[in-house]
Chain A
């Protein structure tokens, strides 16, 4: 069974500081990996995803993530935090099989990002 671990349920940074949100996964096959953001009282919005190819993935709002197979990690980073980045961030993994049909997302517990002025 797949699982996703997000280290740190709450991360607090100052405005302008580096944002680093950690995600490790376990999967029996090369996974598809996703980061979603959830603003208060809203649904989830895709930030970025890794499928195949380049391991450094760029997303919206200046975020990027690097797939490291040897470390089974997919950490999310942003060089400079903005106040508007305050939200909850979810890492997710989706398995895929040849001819398979189950693309459900398995989510981590989420990391709440607070940005201090």
Chain B
């Protein structure tokens, strides 16, 4: 158990819908990262937050957004969902935004878009 929690574990929805994925980092970790794992693209970095502020953006679509709240939990919002958004979404946390801190991964949320 990494100490990073993600809810829900599974999510099934329809095209065009909007979903929110939630992540709680390890106690004491200030930095949260979101990754997408799909068969086509592999594991790809989406976005990073540190202590409530966005720090880095990767291959995140404009239909996707995220935020980190004062209690440090983070939410990834996916809207206007398409079939191709079906994937495993991982959250990872680390102590700080300066490396090389280990990133600890949550168990993931499996999103299925029908």
Closest chain B CB from A2 CB (angstroms): 11
Interface string of A10-34 (1 = CB under 8 A from B): 0000000000000000000000100
Interface of B is mostly: strand
Q: Which of A41-88 contact B (CB under 8 A)?
A: 42-46, 49, 51
Complex CA–CA separation, A64 to B31 (angstroms): 27
Q: Inside 8 A of A49's CB, which chain B residues have their CB? A: 100, 102
Chain B residue, CB-CB nearest to A52: B100
Interface residues on B, range: 20 to 34
Q: Inside 8 A of B103's CB, which chain A residues have their CB? A: 46, 103, 105
Chain A residue, CB-CB nearest to B102: A46
Q: Inside 8 A of B2's CB, which chain A residues have their CB? A: 43, 45
B100 near A32 (CB under 8 angstroms)? Answer: yes
Interface string of A91-107 (1 = CB under 8 A from B): 00010100001111111
Q: Inside 8 A of A104's CB, which chain B residues have their CB? A: 33, 45, 48, 56, 58
Closest chain A CB from B96 CB (angstroms): 9
> Is B107 located at the chain interface by the 8 A CB criterion?
yes
Q: Inside 8 A of A42's CB, which chain B residues have their CB? A: 107
With beta carbons under 8 angstroms apart, the residue of B35, B97, B107 that contacts A103 is B97
B56 near A102 (CB under 8 angstroms)? Answer: yes
B98 near A103 (CB under 8 angstroms)? Answer: yes
With beta carbons under 8 angstroms apart, the residue of A44, A45, A96, A110 that contacts B99 is A96
- Knowing A42-B107, A102-B55, A102-B56, the reply to whether A32 touches B42 (Cβ < 8 A) is no
Interface string of B1-24 (1 = CB under 8 A from A): 010100000000000000000000
Q: Inside 8 A of B35's CB, which chain A residues have their CB? A: 105
Chain A residue, CB-CB nearest to B33: A104
With beta carbons under 8 angstroms apart, the residue of B31, B58, B94, B105 that contacts A44 is B105
Q: Inside 8 A of B44's CB, which chain A residues have their CB? A: 107
Beyond the given A90-B43, A101-B50, please list 5 additional residue pairs across the A-B interface where CB-CB is below 8 A. A46-B102, A94-B100, A103-B100, A104-B45, A107-B43
Please give the residue numbers on chain A whose beta carbons come within 8 Å of chain B beta carbons, in ascending order. 32, 36, 42-46, 49, 51, 90, 94, 96, 101-110
